[in-house]
Structure 1
Amino acid sequence: MRYRTLFLSIAIFAFSIGTVHAAGFPTKPINLIVPFGAGSTTDLAARSLANAVKDMLPEPIVVVNRPGASGIVAAASVANSQPDGYTMLMSRVSCNGAVPALNKKTPYKVDDFTFVGITELNPFVICVLADSPYKTLDDLIKAIKENPGKLSFGTSGALSMLDIVGMMLLDAAGLPQQAAVSVPYKGDGDAKTALLGGHIQFIPNNLSPMADVMKAGTVRALAVTTKERLENFPDVPTVAEAGYPALSGAVGWSGFFGPKGMDAETVKVYAEMLQKMKNDPEWLKATKLLGAIPNVLTPEESKAFVMKQYADFEALGKKLNIIVQ
Structure 2
Amino acid sequence: MTENNDKLHLKRRSFMIGAAAVGAGLAMPSLSRAASWPERPLTMIVPSDAGGSLDRTIRGLSTVMQKHIGQPIQVENRPGGSFMLGVRYFLQQPQDGDVILAHALSPYIASSILFHDAPYKMEDFSFINAHWSDWDVIAAYKDSPYQTLPDLLKAIKENPKKVRASVVTGSSGHLTTLLMLQRSGIPIENLNLVTFQGGGQARQAIAGGQVDFIVIAGSGSEGIRDFIKPLAVVRDTPHADWDAPVLGEATKPLGLSLPVLPGSMRGLAMSSGFRAEHPDRWDIISSAYKATLEDPEFIEFAETNAMGHDWLGAEETTAKVMAVHDVFAEFKPLLQR
Q: Given the two structures, how large is their TM-score scaled by the length of structure 1?
A: 0.88
In structure 1, C-alpha distance between the alignment counterparts of 2:185 and 2:262, rounded to whole Å: 18
Question: Whole-Å Cα distance in 2 between the matches of residues 122 and 247 of structure 1?
Answer: 16
Pairing 1:1-325 to 2, within 5 Å after superposition = 1=12, 4-92=16-104, 93-103=106-116, 105-157=117-169, 159-214=170-225, 217-233=226-242, 235-243=243-251, 246-262=258-274, 263-318=278-333, 320=334, 322=336
Instruction: From the superposition, tell whether residues 204 and 277 of structure 1 become closer, same or farther in structure 2 (CA, over 3 Å).
Output: same
Amino acid paired to 1:96: I
* Change in CA separation of 1:98 and 1:290 when aligned onto 2, cut-off 3 Å: farther
In the TM superposition, what is the alpha-carbon distance from 1:321 to its structure 2 partner?
6.7
Consecutive unaligned residues of structure 2, counting only runs of 5 or more, are: 1-11
* TM-aligned CA deviation for residue 12 of structure 1: 3.0
Q: Is the 8 A contact 1:99 1:160 kept in 2?
A: no
Measured in 2, the distance between the counterparts of 1:3 and 1:302 equals 48
CA distance change for structure 1 residues 80 and 132 in 2, over 3 Å: closer, same or farther?
same
- Residue-by-residue CA offset, 1:212-247 (whole Å, 9 max, x unaligned): 221xx32111111222222322x1222122126634
1:207: how far off? 1.9
Amino acid at match of 1:99: S
SS in 1 for 2:70: coil
The alpha-carbon deviation at position 171 of structure 1 amounts to 3.3
Conservation of the 8 A alpha-carbon contact between 1:124 and 1:224: yes
Conserved 8 A contact 1:33-1:78: yes
> Cα deviation per residue 1:244-295 (whole Å; 9 max; x = unaligned)?
6634223111120123311111110111122222322332343344344433
Determine if contact 2:48/2:79 at 8 Å carries over to the other structure: yes
> Given the superposition, is the C-alpha separation of residues 142 and 14 from structure 1 closer, same or farther in structure 2, using an over 3 Å criterion?
farther
Instruction: Call closer, same or farther: CA 1:239–1:3 in 2, change over 3 Å.
Output: farther
Preserved CA contact (<8 Å) 1:75 1:95:
no
Q: How many residues are aligned here?
A: 317
**TM-score, structure 2 as length reference:** 0.86
How far apart, in 1, do the equivalents of 2:236 and 2:292 lie? Answer: 26
The Cα offsets for residues 132-188 of structure 1, whole Å up to 9 and x where unpaired, read as 11111111111111123332211333x244423322332343433323122123321
Q: Indicate conservation of the 8 Å contact 2:206/2:227, yes or no.
A: no
Measured after TM superposition, the shift of residue 311 of structure 1 is 1.7
In structure 2, relative to structure 1, the CA distance for the partners of 1:11 and 1:36 (3 Å cut) is same
Q: Which one-letter code corresponds to 1:97 in the other structure?
A: A
Give the distance between the partners of 2:302 and 2:160, measured in 1 at CA: 38
Deviation at 1:117, TM superposition (A): 1.6
1:153 counterpart SS class: strand
**Native 8 Å contact 1:79 1:113 kept in 2:** no
**Mean alpha-carbon deviation: is it higher for 243-252 or for 105-114?**
243-252
Unaligned runs of 5+ in 1: none
Distance in 2 (alpha carbons) for counterparts of 1:267 and 1:109: 20
Distance 1:16 1:168, change over 3 A: farther
**Aligned equivalents of 1:15, 1:218: Cα separation in 2:** 60
Deviations 1:14-58 (A, max 9, x none): 443332222212111111111111111110121121123132121
Specify which structure has the higher proportion of helix: 2
Shift of the 9–100 alpha-carbon distance from structure 1 to 2, 3 Å rule, reads: farther
Give the share of equivalent positions with the same residue, in percent: 26
Counterpart-to-counterpart distance in 2, 1:174 and 1:21: 62
